[in-house]
Amino acid sequence: MDRILIAVDSSHNAKSALDYVMTNIDHERLQIHLLNVQRPIATGEISHFQTASMISAARHAAGEEVLRPLAALLEAEGIDHVCRVVLGEPALCIARYAASEACTSIVMSTRARSAIWRTTTSSWRSCEAPWRRVASR
C-alpha cells in the first residue's frame, strides 16, 4: 500500500497537491496522510490568562479547520486517509511524521509564497521518503 503524505498549510495551494495525488495515483492501494504543522508554542506566549494547553488546543483546532475541506474531498471519493495536526518546526515535523508512519512519498505544492514550502525546502536532504513538488494553480 502506498502511504502518501501531503503537507497542508492554510494556503489555497495545498489543494493542488491533493488534486495531483487524486488524479495521478491509483486509489485502490492508497492511504493519504494529511498533515498540518502549527508553529510551536513560544515561552512568551504563556501567561496567567493563557496556558500552554489552551494555546495547544487552539492551534490543534485551527489545524483541524485547515484539514477539514480536504478530508471531505477524500471522503467523497472513498479514499482512505488520516488527518493529523502537530506543533513544531515544519521541516522536522514533516520528515519525522513521514518516517514514523512509513510514508512512501511526500507531496506538496511548490508555490514559493507558501509558508510551508519556504520553511522546508532547505531541510529535505534529511528526509528518507521521496518527495514531489506540484505546481500550484
Q: Tens digit of pLDDT for each residue in 13-59?
A: 778 889 888 888 887 889 999 999 999 888 777 787 788 898 899 99
CB atoms within 10 A of CB 75: 11
CB atoms within 10 A of CB 96: 15
How many CA atoms does the CB half-sphere of 65 hold within 13 Å?
A: 9
pTM of the model: 0.80
- The one-letter amino acid code at 60 reads H
Work out the angle between the directed axes of helices 52-77 and 14-24 (0-180°, nearest 10).
30
Q: Give the CATH superfamily of 2-134.
A: HUPs (3.40.50.620)
pLDDT per residue over 93-130, tens digit each?
999 999 999 999 998 876 555 555 555 554 544 455 54
Q: Is 51 helix (H, G, I), strand (E, B) or coil?
A: coil
Quick one: pLDDT at residue 120? 53
Quick one: pLDDT at residue 112? 52
